[in-house]
Amino acid sequence: MSENVPADPHVAIVTTAGGVEDGALTISDGTPLKRALARAQSHARRKAFLLVLPLLAFIILTFVVPIFQMLYRSVDSPNFHDNMPNMVAWFAQNPSGTEPDETAFTALVEDLKLLKKNRKAGLVGTRINYELPGSRSLFTKGARKAAKLEPPYKEALLKIDPKWSDPKLWQVMRSAASPYTFNFYLAAVDRTRDADGKIVRVNENRRIYLKLFGRTLVLSLLITFMTFILAYPIAHLLATLPLRKSNLLMILVLLPFWTSLLVRTTSWMVLLQSQGVLNDAMVALGIVSDDHRIQMMYNKIGTVVAMTHILLPFMVLPLYSVMRTINPSYVRAARNLGATSWTAFRRIYFPQTVPGIAAGALLVFILAVGYYITPALVGGADGQLISNLIAFHMTGSLNWSMAAALAALLLGGILVLYWLYDKLVGIDNLKLG
């Protein structure tokens, strides 16, 4: 009997189930229907899971794992902890605020000898230098000379460099002795710890990150708004023109999209720089004098103009796909019932395009917040965004922990904004096509 059970239990129910017996539905071989269904469904689920498994594995391996590895660096600080065992022990035995005595300096000199032996002085010095600039050479110099030092070590070390008694240095070493730290996050919001370990704002001339987070937010919102203003009429035109003409226009929208980002950015440089096409034309027409060419490149204006252009297709396409599905007879009906064209637009047409606006705005905003190449090329001094600072710490200062802390804050900020957006607009309302 069981040999003949068809593969699909539903077929079996239709063909052979006898109806209600003993108060439960069964299929032909007597298995309760519920269990057979569950088995079939779990089979289907397994199959579906196996089908997405390669993609899932790919995403986890190449996306999720590296991101978390990178973000982990923002709290991970092993260099001092791993290479200065005597100092770590001394900090563990003596609470914060203890005046460093001869035992402390003995531990320090022992560790400096270790650093010399293992060639790690640069690593530890760099770690301390992040929080107390100028202290890196203290460690490299100290390690070089440690072997020749004689007790009492405190005196000997202070003779090499009096900075060794700086309470701020000892506070920084104490916090670096822990294998984990939140100090990079403090630095990422322009805060630091003073010699007593209290959190204070950094000196005014070094405050930069909060300002750049703010600027990134403002410029991204501005760029999103600009793309909306520019894209709305274009998308409307595309959606209402006859197909042949709209296809042609569509190519004009997509053509820049297919062009290399660098080419598009440098074209803007050619157009807008002070000796560029636009300025030359205005000088030739006598609109501005040769000495007062308008600075439109290497500043905020350059960043906003170039990014608005580059991100425009991301607003046009969702708008277009939503507008195309809007039935023109609604607006006609409204006009028929006496609405002015403005009222018809405001009360009938516009509300139907909101899902497209919502989708386009979200796309453009998120892309703009993380944009890097364009501001780097055309932003000059005041058109830089937070991503440029992250890049600076990745490739320039090589302080990857700081880059990770900034990136984590940016990611967290975007998630909060996304949550707000979901509350206000509703992610279910998005329509990408």
Interface with another protein, residue 207, by CB under 8 A? yes
Give 336 or 397: the residue with its C-beta nearer to another protein. Answer: 397
192 backbone dihedrals φ, ψ, rounded to 5° = -150, 175
Q: Which one among 62, 240, 259, 275 touches another protein, defined by CB under 8 A?
A: 275
Is 31 or 274 the residue whose CB approaches another protein more closely? 274
Gap between the Cα atoms of 381 and 113, Å rounded:
44
Question: Which DSSP symbol is given to 99?
Answer: P
SS3 assignment, position 76: strand
Phi/psi-derived region of residue 99, left when phi > 0, alpha when psi is between -120 and 50, beta in every other case: beta
Task: Kindly identify the residues of this chain, within the stretch 120-179, that bind another protein according to CB under 8 A.
Answer: 120-123, 125-126, 129-130, 133-137, 140
CB of 376 to another protein, least distance (A): 8
CA dist., res. 242 & res. 46, Å (int):
47
Q: Give the nearest distance from C-beta 161 to another protein in angstroms.
A: 12
Q: Choose the binding region for another protein from 101-109, 173-181, 250-258, 271-279 (rule: CB under 8 A).
A: 271-279
Name the token pair of 160.
């090499």
**Site mask for another protein (CB under 8 A), range 239-258, x = bound:** --------------------
**Residue 384 makes contact with another protein by CB under 8 A:** yes
Interface with another protein (CB under 8 A), residue total 39
Check binding of 215 to another protein (CB under 8 A).
yes
Q: Does an H or E element contain 423, and which?
A: helix 400-424
Nearer to another protein, 94 or 267 (CB): 267
The phi, psi pair for 24, rounded to 5°, reads -135, 145
Q: Which is nearer to another protein, 150 or 204 (CB)?
A: 204
Site residues for another protein, window 74-113 (CB under 8 A)?
A: none
Binding mask 394-433 for another protein (x = CB under 8 A): xxxxxxx---------------------------------
**Under a CB-based contact definition with an 8 Å cutoff, are residues 71 and 172 in contact?**
no
Q: Indicate which single residue of 28, 192, 273, 321 sits in contact with another protein (rule: CB under 8 A).
A: 273
Comparing CB distances to another protein, the nearer of 208 and 252 is 208
CA distances from 13 to 6, 25, 100, 278 (A): 10, 9, 84, 77
Q: How far is the CB of 298 from another protein (least distance, A)?
A: 6
Q: Name which of 364 and 405 has its Cβ closer to another protein.
A: 405
* Residue among 121, 155, 118 at smallest CA distance from 135: 121
| Least distance (Å) between residue 203 CB and another protein | 9
For residues 190 and 89, what is the distance between their CA atoms, to the nearest angstrom? 31
**Of 114-122, 170-178, 218-226, 341-349, which part binds another protein (CB under 8 A)?**
114-122
> Are 302 and 376 spatial neighbours (Cβ–Cβ below 8 Å)?
no
Q: Is 418 exposed, middle or buried (0-12, 13-18, 19+ CB in 10 A)?
A: middle
230 lies in the site for another protein, by CB under 8 A: no
Question: Which helix (H) or strand (E) is 109 found in, with range?
Answer: helix 102-118
- Count CB-CB contacts under 10 A for residue 343: 12
**Shortest distance, CB of residue 137 to another protein, whole angstroms?**
5
DSSP track, 174-225: HHHHSSB--HHHHHHTTEEE-TTS-EEEPPGGG--HHHHHHHHHHHHHHHHH
Establish if 208 lies at the interface with another protein (CB under 8 A). yes
Binding another protein by CB under 8 A: which of 186, 380, 414, 422? Answer: 380
With CB under 8 A as the contact rule, the residue among 389, 407, 409, 430 that binds another protein is 389
Are 175 and 91 spatial neighbours (Cβ–Cβ below 8 Å)?
A: no
Q: Smaller CB distance to another protein: residue 259 or 275?
A: 275
- The residue range among 168-176, 205-213, 221-229, 409-417 that interacts with another protein, by the rule CB under 8 A, is 205-213
Closest to another protein by CB, 137 vs 336, is 137
- CB 421 within 8 Å of CB 364: no
Please tell me whether residue 271 binds another protein under the rule CB under 8 A: no
What residues make contact with another protein under the rule CB under 8 A? 119-123, 125-126, 129-130, 133-137, 140, 205-208, 211-212, 215, 273-275, 298, 380-382, 384, 389, 392, 394-400
